[in-house]
Chain A
């Protein structure tokens, strides 16, 4: 499709250019704080992108998605504390454990719908949170410091801030691309159809459960990747990584950015975390400002920031939409 000249098609490339060039600016200015902040934003944007796959496209409102952040993170932390520091071992294990957890959780949760699904995913995440808090050998409540970041031989040095930033950016963009391909594939059509009208999906011949479960596992695995990055970013894992408020943050990012939109979760993560950072610099009670802002988005911008950007800058140049709006109702 040819890109219409709308605000989104300007803002998204601008945001990507900013993210690509940020390390140049920070290395010139020596502002490592900004680089650290945006590394964190990219990692959480990856988690939000994985959540968008099930929440936005699949209609599965998981309120326990941060569990996989914790599982991926703890896999790295526990292996590191046991002396296994090779990333080539750590990372596949982190992903595999996340996938397995998502499989078990999905098998049980996906039999429920609506509010029950929200509550049962939340319950699982809280359960895993308490398991983390109970791991006395690995710090329990206090968490676990990671002495050495994942080692990738001569390939990558995660202790190099710039290199780590670019790794996060590359993995985020790869994930966005993957999700985009996925939701437009045959598999994606089934997922989106099941969000829209699952009863009809079964009546035209789809065994929807297995597709939804697969989708749930893919999302959990991708979020586990985000957890592995987060553990390396903070050199620390703790149960707080998977507390329910973190799951809530991820939902906010997706809703704020725009559900079922390609770059929505990235936009939402940037908006939420930058706002949080900026507002907390102004006042201790920054949540009083952030709360109403979110409320406004939910009330008046159902498709999030991404939906707001979907306005043509030159309305005359896109007659196709206007035409459809006119003749659409037959």
Chain B
């Protein structure tokens, strides 16, 4: 059988006495929406940081699309088709929404040692950027400065930018954080469409959204993947219930 799109093997990261990633192994096949859940401090964001290349793991391996990417810089992973969105909105506030997405398009349209033509009038950048904005429902907000957009719109823009890099896989770090219920519902719709064509690793606290969207779920507690399986299996798993109900027991466990 072919190797899964993303393969994580024995990934370990220590910060002093804290071990946010403790021998995590995970396979995510092409086309799956895989959710990672767990209490605060379980190491979810550290895991994304290592996958995206911002945090160097102490040991273990990350393979993407058959190649070892454990030591590749962030920008090269993006070029390979691994896109991420940030938990805390990370945009270009003094640019418009369209400028932001156009920049993401530009990053994947060959090198940028082009010194003369006006990038804001370049249809090869603007058209795909507008399409990505339309996709997440921000099409009519294209010319608004990012600093004037609402929090919910920032979250949508995060997704649009990740999409504009034409990725094979999305790493989404709490895309619904701080959203109103209506906005969350809109985001669930967007993600449901996206999962038709993309592999997605989703970190999210909104359990309703997670169980509605995920093909498989991994539960992370104190850096360890304590369970991995279908939403139904996770719901029924006693260890998971313990983790969420009484954390002391889990400490004793690990």
Contacts and interface: CB of A to CB of B under 8 A. Distances in A.
Interface in A179-206: 181-182, 184-190, 192-193, 196-197, 199-206
A184 B104 CA distance: 16
B144 A197 contact: no
Contact of B95 (A185, A196, A328, A329): A196
Given A186-B122, A196-B94, A330 B75 contact: no
Contact of B144 (A208, A211, A214, A328): A328
Contacts of B120: 184
Interface in A253-269: none
B201 to A, nearest CB: 15
B115 A187 contact: yes
A199 B90 CA distance: 8
B64 to A, nearest CB: 14
A199 B87 CA distance: 13
Contacts of B95: 192-193, 196
B148 A205 contact: no
A201 B76 CA distance: 12
Contact of A204 (B78, B99, B115): B78
Contacts of A208: 75
Contacts of B119: 184-186, 188-189
A134 interface: no
B75 A206 contact: yes
A189 B125 CA distance: 12
Interface string B92-136: 111100010011101110001111111110100100000000000
Nearest to A182: B115
Interface string B153-188: 100000001101100000000000000000000000
Interface of B: 52, 54, 73-76, 78-79, 83-84, 86, 90-95, 99, 102-104, 106-108, 112-120, 122, 125, 141, 144-145, 148-150, 153, 161-162, 164-165
16 contacts: A185-B114, A190-B106, A193-B95, A193-B103, A196-B93, A196-B94, A202-B75, A203-B52, A204-B104, A204-B161, A205-B78, A205-B79, A205-B165, A207-B76, A211-B113, A328-B145
